[in-house]
Chain A
Amino acid sequence: MNGKLSNFWKLFGKPGVVSTQAEAAISSQEQQRGSTHLVEFDQNDPVIQYFQSAPGVVEIEKLIFDSPTLRTLKAAGVKLTVPLVSQGELIGLLNLGPRLSEQEYSADDHGLLNNLATQAAPALRVAQLVREQQIEVQARERIEHELRVARLIQQTLLPKGLPDLPGWQVATYYQPARAVGGDFFDFIPLKDGRYGFVIGDVTDKGVPAALVMATTRSVLRSAAEQFSSPGKVLERANDLLCPDIPERMFITCIYAILDPNTGHMVFANAGHDLPYRRCGDGVEELRATGMPLGLMEGMEYEQKEIMIGTDETILFYSDGLVEAHNPSGEMFGFPRLREKMAYHPGGKELIEYLLDELKSFTSTGWEQEDDVTFLILERTEGSVSDREADKSNHPFVEKEWQTLAEFSLASEPGNEREATRRVAEVVESLNLDRAKLERLKTAVAEAAMNAMEHGNKYQPDLPVKIRVQTNSAALSVQITDYGTGQQIPQPEIPNLEAKLAGEQTSRGWGLFLIKNMVDELNVTVDEKHHTVELVIYQEGGKHG
């Protein structure tokens, strides 16, 4: 065909999703053959609707519409337009300018163009579909790649191992959702022998969440080195994160510091789901208030403390569990979690149990909506006698002990002062600083008094034996009585308010005092004796 021009087109969107704008490439009369320019068409233009239903070649000059598209086509010198229709949908226009011979298009030309359009339309449609598919595949690949990056960031930064704390069992579970939420946890060993535990959740998903999580982790680690109280650590982290965090993103997080020797745990919470404590009396929430990190500068964080007793379990978790939905749209929820926890004896097996409960709640085919994370802390050997049996866990056991003195005292009221005096005399050569010496004296007096009063029932013929030992790292005072079979109760934090209100006896301070005066309190029992060992570290230790 000797037409001056030729081509055109436009590519509409997906079939059925017709965009309001369409484009066509038009070759103007003045331009060289084959060159094109794009014209945008309004899909609601009456002429476009006409093209859609036209039976074949349309002579542009014969059309009378009030139509911007038509004006554009005419201005571009288009003589004939062949609508390309596939499955009832207009997918492009084949536009022709005047013939180079300046003659009119013949009936044969019309027939040829109609034939061409019938074959070109489906081919064009196939090409369009292939292109759409390629774009989709590329987009999917990009998303998959992003998710891989997000997962990689998270998995690289989550701790590789668990802290090895004698007398404690630590367990974790982390299952990212397909879209990778921003859950994280961390363990931070502290210089004073205590251990920091972090669990958190960044709002948002994917790479942005992973990057904020990475930043939060570093900020928390540096704050934890700087401050020894969890409230201060969160306060500092919040102030550091606030200026840099993207809008509408924030982090909920708990920071807890555990003293593995005593079971004392102090914690603060930046808007994270409240941890649960599984203890003899059931399940209780560990509540401390504070705003999430990254929302507002200058926030303060409430700090709470507890003593974790033997066989008690603390569960930290993320919202992926409590906010999971079942097929009827019901949420797993906090009451259910609490109830399930109360049924279970606790420990790391709790994770398996909760996952089973989650599985049966959501039923098969559930697509995990958010990351699910658990961090479990269980005190397995509170009565230090167990630990004593496993000497390999003792930090100073490999260092050889030297006995400084061994003596016996009659079990008489007031004789604990004699015990204190003699121990103070014996350790004089060690040059303990004054505060440490005073603490040791108070601890020895209390322990000796317990031995005489409770162990030996003040029977004058039953002596209390005292042995003082030292090595390069620590000082040990062992106080032995004849109280067999008795287990030393776990020291609890006395409830001063209840004592003042007359609801409790004003007594009951002894064990609490001892525990606070020394770095270790170990108890051993054999068939005939009951021994309390007080250990004070030469360097560092509880009181620096």
Chain B
Amino acid sequence: MADQPFDAQIRKVNDAVIIDLFGDIDAFADQSLDESYRKAVSSGAQAVLLNFTGVHYINSTGIALIVRILAQSQKSGIALLTYGLSSHYQEIFEITRLADFITIFPDEMSALTGLETA
């Protein structure tokens, strides 16, 4: 699998904002990821859903970026959810204990339903 430069798109669904992530989450994703999160929050979202369906590589720097976003969301009381993680990266979320703070859903539908019932 070749390197895939990072990109992120924002969609608003009800009170939530979905950030569709594409490409590799490593040092190169730093600014772009931060910027998309800032945009999502400034739109008044109460919850941010990270869509990892288009992500096939996350390294330790990428984990640090996600930790940084989680820290910001905790500070401002915004729920952070994910879906579309491969089973390997779900395992990594569990090993790093990110899964203790970010609920992992299999897909967009279940994530949005989970958000409503939460």
A residues contacting B by CB (< 8 A) are: 413-414, 416-417, 421, 435, 438-439, 442, 445-446, 449, 494, 496, 499-502, 505-510, 512-513, 516
Q: Which of B3, B91, B92 meets A414, CB within 8 Å?
A: B3
B residues contacting A by CB (< 8 A) are: 1-3, 24, 26-28, 57, 59-61, 63-65, 67-68, 70-71, 74, 86-88, 91-92, 95-98, 100-101
How many angstroms from the CA of A258 to the CA of B38 in the assembled complex?
Answer: 44
B88 & A500 in contact (Cβ 8 Å cutoff): no
Q: List 30 A-B contacts (CB under 8 A).
A: A414-B26, A414-B28, A416-B59, A421-B2, A435-B91, A438-B86, A442-B92, A445-B59, A449-B59, A494-B96, A496-B67, A496-B96, A496-B97, A496-B101, A499-B71, A500-B74, A506-B64, A506-B67, A507-B60, A507-B61, A507-B64, A509-B60, A509-B63, A509-B96, A510-B60, A512-B96, A513-B63, A513-B92, A513-B95, A516-B95
Output the least CB separation between A266 and chain B (Å).
14
Output the least CB separation between A422 and chain B (Å).
12
B87 & A435 in contact (Cβ 8 Å cutoff): yes
Known: A421-B2, A496-B101, A506-B67. 18 other contacts (CB 8 A): A414-B3, A414-B26, A417-B2, A435-B87, A442-B88, A445-B59, A449-B59, A494-B96, A496-B98, A496-B100, A499-B67, A502-B71, A506-B71, A507-B60, A508-B64, A509-B63, A509-B96, A513-B95
A417 & B57 in contact (Cβ 8 Å cutoff): yes
Interface of B is mostly: helix
Residues on the A chain within 8 Å of B67, using CB? 496, 499-500, 506
Nearest chain B residue, comparing its CB with the CB of A499: B67
How many angstroms from the CA of A147 to the CA of B97 in the assembled complex?
Answer: 52
B27 & A500 in contact (Cβ 8 Å cutoff): no
Nearest chain A residue, comparing its CB with the CB of B27: A413
A513 & B71 in contact (Cβ 8 Å cutoff): no
How many angstroms from the CA of A512 to the CA of B92 in the assembled complex?
Answer: 11
A439 & B64 in contact (Cβ 8 Å cutoff): no
How many angstroms from the CA of A494 to the CA of B100 in the assembled complex?
Answer: 14
Residues on the A chain within 8 Å of B98, using CB? 496
Output the least CB separation between A538 and chain B (Å).
19
Output the least CB separation between B75 and chain A (Å).
9
How many angstroms from the CA of A499 to the CA of B60 in the assembled complex?
Answer: 14
Residues on the A chain within 8 Å of B3, using CB? 414, 417
Choose among A499, A501, A506 the residue with the greatest number of B CB atoms under 10 Å from its CB: A506
Output the least CB separation between A132 and chain B (Å).
71
Residues on the B chain within 8 Å of A496, using CB? 67, 96-98, 100-101
How many angstroms from the CA of A500 to the CA of B97 in the assembled complex?
Answer: 12
Output the least CB separation between A272 and chain B (Å).
28
In the complex with contacts A417-B3, A507-B61, A513-B60, A435-B71 CB distance below 8 A:
no
Choose among A413, A414, A417 the residue with the greatest number of B CB atoms under 10 Å from its CB: A417
B88 & A439 in contact (Cβ 8 Å cutoff): yes
In the complex with contacts A421-B1, A500-B74, A446-B59 CB distance below 8 A:
yes
How many angstroms from the CA of A208 to the CA of B51 in the assembled complex?
Answer: 62
Residues on the A chain within 8 Å of B1, using CB? 421
How many angstroms from the CA of A501 to the CA of B27 in the assembled complex?
Answer: 22
Choose among B3, B28, B60, B71 the residue with the greatest number of A CB atoms under 10 Å from its CB: B60
Instruction: Report, nearest first, the 8 A-B pairs whose CB atoms are least far apart.
Output: A438-B88, A509-B60, A510-B60, A506-B67, A507-B64, A506-B64, A509-B63, A500-B71
Residues on the B chain within 8 Å of A509, using CB? 60, 63-64, 96
Choose among B59, B74, B86 the residue with the greatest number of A CB atoms under 10 Å from its CB: B59
How many angstroms from the CA of A502 to the CA of B70 in the assembled complex?
Answer: 11
How many angstroms from the CA of A247 to the CA of B87 in the assembled complex?
Answer: 50
In the complex with contacts A414-B3, A506-B68, A500-B101 CB distance below 8 A:
yes
Residues on the B chain within 8 Å of A494, using CB? 96
How many angstroms from the CA of A494 to the CA of B64 in the assembled complex?
Answer: 11
Residues on the B chain within 8 Å of A446, using CB? 59-60
How many angstroms from the CA of A512 to the CA of B101 in the assembled complex?
Answer: 19
Choose among B2, B26, B65 the residue with the greatest number of A CB atoms under 10 Å from its CB: B26
